[in-house]
Amino acid sequence: MKSLLSRLGNLIILVLLASGCAVGPDFVQPDAPSQEEWIDSGLPQMKTEPADLTSWWKIFNDPVLDSLIETAYRQNLPLQIAGLRIMEARAQLGIAVGGQYPQVQQFSGSAAAVEVSENAPNAEAADKSYYNFQLGFDAAWELDFWGRFRRGIQSTEANLLASVAGYHDALVTLTAETARAYVLIRTFEERIVIAQKNVAIQQRSLEIAEALFEGGLVSELDMQQARALLNDTEATISRLKIGLRQAQHGLSILLGIPPGELKNVLVESGAVPDAPPEVVVGIPADLLRRRPDIRSAELQAAAQSARIGVAKADLYPQFSLVGSIGLQTSEKGGLPSNNASFSDLFDSDSITYTAGPSIRWPLLNYGRITNSVRIQDARFQQLIVNYQLTVLNAYREVEDAIVGFMSSQEQAKYLADSVQASKRSVDLSLIQYREGVTDYQRVLDTQRFLTQEQDLLTSVNGQVALNLIAMYKALGGGWQIREGKGFVNEETKEEMRQRTNWGNMLSPEKLENITEEKVVE
């Protein structure tokens, strides 16, 4: 037996020494479309020095917005789901790592009463009735000769890192959507205030028209036109209030609270946040390192690259070491048979074992394995193209936001001048109407145009802020606030510990310090 064990040990050493290779391609970062500079880089408002986008929303200097984003980071439910996916991926990595070691390690035991058929072959020479007792331990170890399990670990590790990138991408979206909802709310509030001011102006105009009509100086038409304009503006206020409430409800979901509780965290009214005249956007090459969705696309390709090796390993023979050792004895009809009984189970004469190498090689698979490799390779190529498409979309999103921000700023300047001129026109038209120099249609036109231009200016001011938010989202800013913090809050981790044995997997060194900056090699 010692000689057999020695030979098995030597065989294991030889196989392990020979199992250094891993079939399948080693992942290399795909080529990505490149862009040297932004289209509008030459404009004075555009600064291309390195940008710190960790807390980009602070450029608005709005403490309420700062508080809302902090609340959303703590309480947003989809973000919590993204954090839990990281924990799931971490457990899956543990399963993949375990595949490197003996895949079967099991203890077994049995006690059976056996009755042999009278019609069985050689029944006259067999013990027809006896008890069989056995204890045993079985083990099987498929050696990672072709790197199947190592490639599996690489794939699962890349999936883990991709889930971290997915969390960061969700955080980028969360900060941008929270700021966007806040700007929409403030824009609706300001539009309502402006509409209410115009209601007051139009109410005075109606009073003038009514007085002139009662004095017989104008026809009823002037009075009815004034009333129609007033009612139209009041109807606009009702429509704006619908938009305001819906924007508030959207913000409450982002904050993870019922809509009725929003009043506890949001000030009743406020101005549209002012955007700075200049912005720092960095250079296009920074996107490849900063945007989590680009890193996620790369890591998904890395995971799929390793799956090619897993599939390709099936083309080659699988070497395993199998063994079983146990104790076995029996009794006939409750009486000793062959001088053995249950009490002899732990004697050395009751030892039974089998041990040795095995090989499996599915030669006649009719192309199934080859086509499985082809499937994995085609999926890998799809992810390569998806990575390149993700980079192109990132460039487009930034360029769209830049042109939107620049153009809306320019539009706001012209509209501000138009509003000032419209206010003066309203004053002049009312003076001329009282003096009988012009008809009431001129008053209606100037008031209607003022209402339109003031509302449009407020909307465009909101668009300036919204385009700036879209720009920082496109640049991949906001996820950096997670650095040094956990993916899952302590209350959730404690709840999971109470329900399931997570070991040390929830500790900071095992979970919170995972970074997707690493690409599986």
Please report the beta strands in 184-277, taking only residues with DSSP state E, as ranges in sequence order. none
Does 126 fall in a domain? Answer: no
Q: How many CA atoms lie within 13 A of 290 on its CB side?
A: 24
User: What does the CA dihedral 251, 253, 258, 262 come to, rounded to 10 degrees?
Assistant: -20
Predicted pLDDT of residue 127? 66
Residue 288 domain boundaries: 30-100+150-317+371-485
pLDDT (tens digit, 9 = 90+) per residue, 312-371? 999 999 888 888 888 888 777 644 445 667 777 777 777 888 888 888 888 888 789 999
Does 344 fall in a domain? Answer: no
Residue 520 pLDDT class (50, 70, 90 cuts): very low
Q: What is the CATH number of the domain that holds 444?
A: 1.20.1600.10
Q: Which two tokens stand for residue 90?
A: 């971490």
34 pLDDT exceeds 60?
Answer: yes
Q: Of 128 and 44, which is predicted with more confidence? A: 44
CB 197 within 8 A of CB 159: no
- Number of folded domains that form the chain: 1
DSSP 337: B
Predicted pLDDT of residue 13? 55
- Whole-number Å distance between alpha carbons of 398 and 461: 20
pLDDT (tens digit, 9 = 90+) per residue, 10-25? 555 555 555 557 888 9
At a CB cut-off of 8 Å and minimum separation 6, what does 195 contact?
233, 236, 237, 240, 451, 455
Does 131 fall in a domain? Answer: no
pLDDT (tens digit, 9 = 90+) per residue, 138-197? 888 888 888 888 999 999 999 999 999 999 999 999 999 999 999 999 999 999 998 998
Does 504 fall in a domain? Answer: no
Does 303 fall in a domain? Answer: yes
pLDDT (tens digit, 9 = 90+) per residue, 385-394? 999 999 999 9
246 pLDDT exceeds 50?
Answer: yes
Alpha helices in 19-117 (DSSP H): 63-75, 77-98
Predicted pLDDT of residue 242? 94
Does 323 fall in a domain? Answer: no
Residue 447 pLDDT class (50, 70, 90 cuts): confident
Does 300 fall in a domain? Answer: yes
CB 168 within 8 A of CB 516: yes
For the segment 471-486, the average pLDDT, to the nearest whole number, is: 88
Predicted pLDDT of residue 396? 94
Does 204 fall in a domain? Answer: yes
Predicted pLDDT of residue 387? 96
For the segment 430-436, the average pLDDT, to the nearest whole number, is: 82
